[in-house]
Copies of this chain bind each other. A is one copy, B any other.
Amino acid sequence: MSDQTNNAPLRVGLLGLGTVGQGVLSILARNGASIAERAGRPITVTMAAVRDTAKSRGDLPEGLDITTDPMAVVNSDSVDVVVELMGGIETPEQFVRAALQAGKPVVTANKALLALRGEALFDLARQHNAPLAFEAAVAGGIPLIKALREGLAANVVSSIAGIINGTCNYILTQMDEAGTPFADVLAEAQRLGYAEADPSFDIDGIDAAHKLTLLASIAFGIPLSFDKVHCEGVGLVSVDDIRYAAELGYRIKHLGIARLNNGGVELRVHPTLLPKSELLANVNGVLNATVFGADAASPTGYFGPGAGGEATASAVLADVVDIARGASMPGLGGPAASDLAVLPIEDAVSGHYLRLRVADVPGVLTAISGILAQAQISIEAINQKEIANPGSDTNVVILTAPVQERTMRAAVEQMMALDSVRPGITRIRVEHTQ
């Protein structure tokens, strides 16, 4: 049971007072009483470090000590828990380290920091017996880390598949529903604030890879392996691909996937065809969703807001409540270090969607299907699309059964060597997540 005798408030210091920090304050102002009941004691924010004290931030709680010095928050005698909401790597890292070294629990929403520097930080947390909690770092307001570490504690997880970047999902949803090309949707998303001015972090899959790194280490007990994630961006998908996929009964989503395969772990982020009947195929807009395959309770899936001030603050406060209850799980929370290796992408196994632009000459389909047959890749569907004018190029769309990546790559290279196949074969993996 939690330490119910200690009813003194748990005092929180915020590093950063942007939308998430302000979300923490507004939720506590609104729901402080019920949060205190669940935590067994009141939660109060006593200090906040900001870059610019002159900036307007609406109503701040009375007595909140605002400073421009994050280290003053970390070292303050009136701060029991440090909540890091600064973003970046090196700058927050020093404050997280200092807090853990002082034995103070840390809550962070910083997926990049943990994915890149987490090994050392979790070591430090263990040494000083201080929780380093990070529910908000993956999938925003969805209690996904808690589900994986605690809800599925009795399971061996075999697969993770997630829509874990809202920007990519928004873009694909718009391309699907409005038929608008990628570049136009991206520009609109930037105008609406769903995508950054420099969107590469989101659309190239880096952000999803950070989150997948954390999930995979929890699920499989492997070291944090961001450098080993195979990453493909959402930009390789065209409106044609979305339409052709739909004709075959699929939708295209940008997924992070981690999966046990033959004694190793596949780690990959890429656009993916999913059967329309699957739950992940029906998650639209900026929503996030993740499905876990496991050996006892399977599949289980989780969806909700992956970003937003109050949604992310909800996850931050869930961690703070666990810390107040004495129920926070130490470390990453996965099984002990496993001997599973992260597999090179060449070893991954997937079905494939191929789109080739080919000249309208006899024998092209025969040549292409011959290459696949020779490589022993089963074809589940092959369609030659309508031609605008006799003699003009046409699209050939192929769906294959699961095959090892290296086999598919070799086959695609052979196809590209055909005279009648134009440069640039689109290749998108096909997965089943349920």
Contact = CB atoms under 8 A, between A and B. Distances in A.
Nearest to A32: B154
Nearest to A142: B300
Interface in A252-308: 277, 279, 282-284, 289, 294-305
Contacts of A196: none
B305 A302 contact: no
A177 to B, nearest CB: 10
A316 to B, nearest CB: 8
Nearest to A298: B305
B296 A310 contact: yes
A311 interface: yes
A147 B142 CA distance: 9
A149 B33 CA distance: 15
A182 to B, nearest CB: 22
A318 B282 contact: no
B141 A300 contact: yes
A315 B147 CA distance: 11
A30 to B, nearest CB: 7
Interface string A313-356: 11101100110011111100101100000000000000000000
A333 B40 CA distance: 11
Contact of A282 (B151, B282, B336): B282
A322 B325 CA distance: 12
Nearest to A292: B304
Contact of A297 (B140, B221, B325, B326): B140
Provide the main secondary structure of the chain A interface. Answer: mixed
Nearest to A434: B287
A299 B299 CA distance: 20
A101 B95 CA distance: 48
Given A31-B156, A37-B335, A150 B321 contact: yes
Contacts of A156: 30-31, 34
A191 interface: no
A27 interface: yes
Nearest to A3: B326
Contacts of A329: 38, 325, 327
A143 interface: yes
Contacts of A318: 150-154
Nearest to A311: B297
A1 interface: yes
Nearest to A146: B151
A35 interface: yes
A269 to B, nearest CB: 23
A304 B313 contact: no
A23 interface: yes
A300 B143 contact: yes
Contacts of A92: none
Interface of A: 1-2, 23, 27, 30-31, 33-35, 37-39, 129, 131, 135, 140-143, 146-147, 149-156, 221, 277, 279, 282-284, 289, 294-305, 310-311, 313-315, 317-318, 321-322, 325-330, 333, 335-336
